[in-house]
Amino acid sequence: MLSVLAVAFPFFALVLCGYAATRRGLLPQSAIPGLNAFVLFFALPCMLYRFGAATPVGLLLDPGALGIYLACALAMVGLAVAWARRQRLGWNDAAFGALVAAFPNTGFMGVPLLAALLGAQAAGPVMLAIAVDMVITTSLCIALSRLDGAGGVGPALRRALRGMLANPMAWSIALGALASALQWRLPGPLEQLVALLAGAASPVALFTIGAVLARSRMNAHEHVPARAYVPLALAKLVLHPLLVFGAGRAAMALGLPLAAPALTALVLVAALPGASNVSLLAERFGAHTGRIARIILVSTALSFLSFSAAVAWLAPR
């Protein structure tokens, strides 16, 4: 366990650095969109492209891993929505609470952290998870959020589709998979540029997560009771990985095609905290952003121990 904590500590310490820098005013809030833009449009796409290009295309298109992760994501959405409706929340707040409970912070946190822990074998399952969450989980939750009649399902889904098409992470994964299938390499100088940008992805992305969390905390001026967000934060960190682990082991027992390393990577993806970009989507569609921000903040703070425990638990398997 101590060795796992030693590996995970620098990653979570970078999040804490970003949080502290923003809370103390060393990083102006006006600089955070620029950091986000650098990570989203430059550094992270280069990292994902390199992972994709270096991974055999069969691992990037693993139907067993895809089926298990998708089924568990849909189960998390269903359970979270059912819980929220029992709490008398509207469809908009219920849907975005479900999204943050089912959508791990795979892009900004999971890619660098799992690459350090598991190596190149994690690339295929991690990118499958990103694709499922960006395309299917997000679209489903946006559609559910419109059931209150606020703007209609069709226009909301069109806005979501435009957002996905403009997201460079999806394109970088697709281009990396194509390069892997064709066994094609970038020219030397361009490869070096991509490598430099990819190397910047981990520290800047993790620092930015901390800055975003601090900004949401500083700008949240209303009281939100703990019962409105703590259960979903705990569900993200505990229930989601347990669902993936149980479903994966059952699939393997039934003889379905799922390799043990792929299952380990998927469980650790599910054990990540809620994705920080869900708060931006919630704000865009008029949901309770303070509640979503608190779910992300609590799940990120607790994940240092819960994620490390998940790694230590799975390591011998």
DSSP string, 208-255: HHHHHHHHHHHT--S---GGGTHHHHHIIIIIHHHHHHHHHHHHHHTT
pLDDT confidence band for 161 (50 / 70 / 90): low
pLDDT confidence of residue 317: 45
Residue 150 scores a pLDDT above 60: no
**Quick check: helix, strand or coil at residue 162?**
helix
Do you know the residue count of the chain?
317
pLDDT higher at 67 or 317:
67
Distance in angstroms (rounded) separating the CA atoms of residues 1 and 313: 9
User: Phi-psi category of 152—alpha, beta or left, where left has phi over 0 and alpha has psi -120 to 50?
Assistant: left
Q: Report yes or no: 294 and 278 within 8 Å, Cβ to Cβ.
A: no
Enumerate long-range contacts of 277-280, CB under 8 Å, 24 or more apart: 277/107, 278/96, 278/99, 278/100, 278/103, 279/100, 279/212, 279/216
The H or E element that residue 267 is part of is helix 260-270
Q: Give the confidence band of 256 by pLDDT, cuts at 50, 70, 90.
A: confident
At 50-83, the pLDDT tens digits run 888 887 777 777 888 999 999 999 999 999 999 9
How many CB atoms are closer than 10 A to CB 139?
A: 15
Tokens describing residue 269: 């993806």
In the predicted structure, residue 153 carries a pLDDT above the cut 60? no
Under a CB-based contact definition with an 8 Å cutoff, are residues 153 and 139 in contact? no
Q: Which residue has the higher pLDDT, 235 or 154?
A: 235
Please give the pLDDT value at position 86. 92
DSSP letter (8 states) at residue 146:
G
Average pLDDT for residues 15-33, to the nearest whole number?
93
Whether residue 145 is predicted with pLDDT greater than 90 in this model: the reply is no
Confidence category of residue 8, pLDDT binned at 50, 70, 90: confident
Question: Domains of the chain (ranges plus CATH)?
Answer: 2-314 (1.20.1530.20)
Instruction: In whole angstroms, give the CA distance from residue 317 to residue 265.
Output: 12
Arithmetic mean of pLDDT over the chain? 86
Q: Count Cβ atoms below 10 Å from residue 97 Cβ, excluding itself.
A: 31
CA–CA dist 302, 272 (Å, integer): 10
Within 10 A of 166 (CB to CB), how many other CB atoms are there? 10
Amino acid at 148: D
Most confident of 7-16, 102-111, 190-199, 283-292: 190-199
Q: CA of 218: how far to CAs of 22, 33, 147, 167, 202, in Å?
A: 9, 16, 31, 27, 25
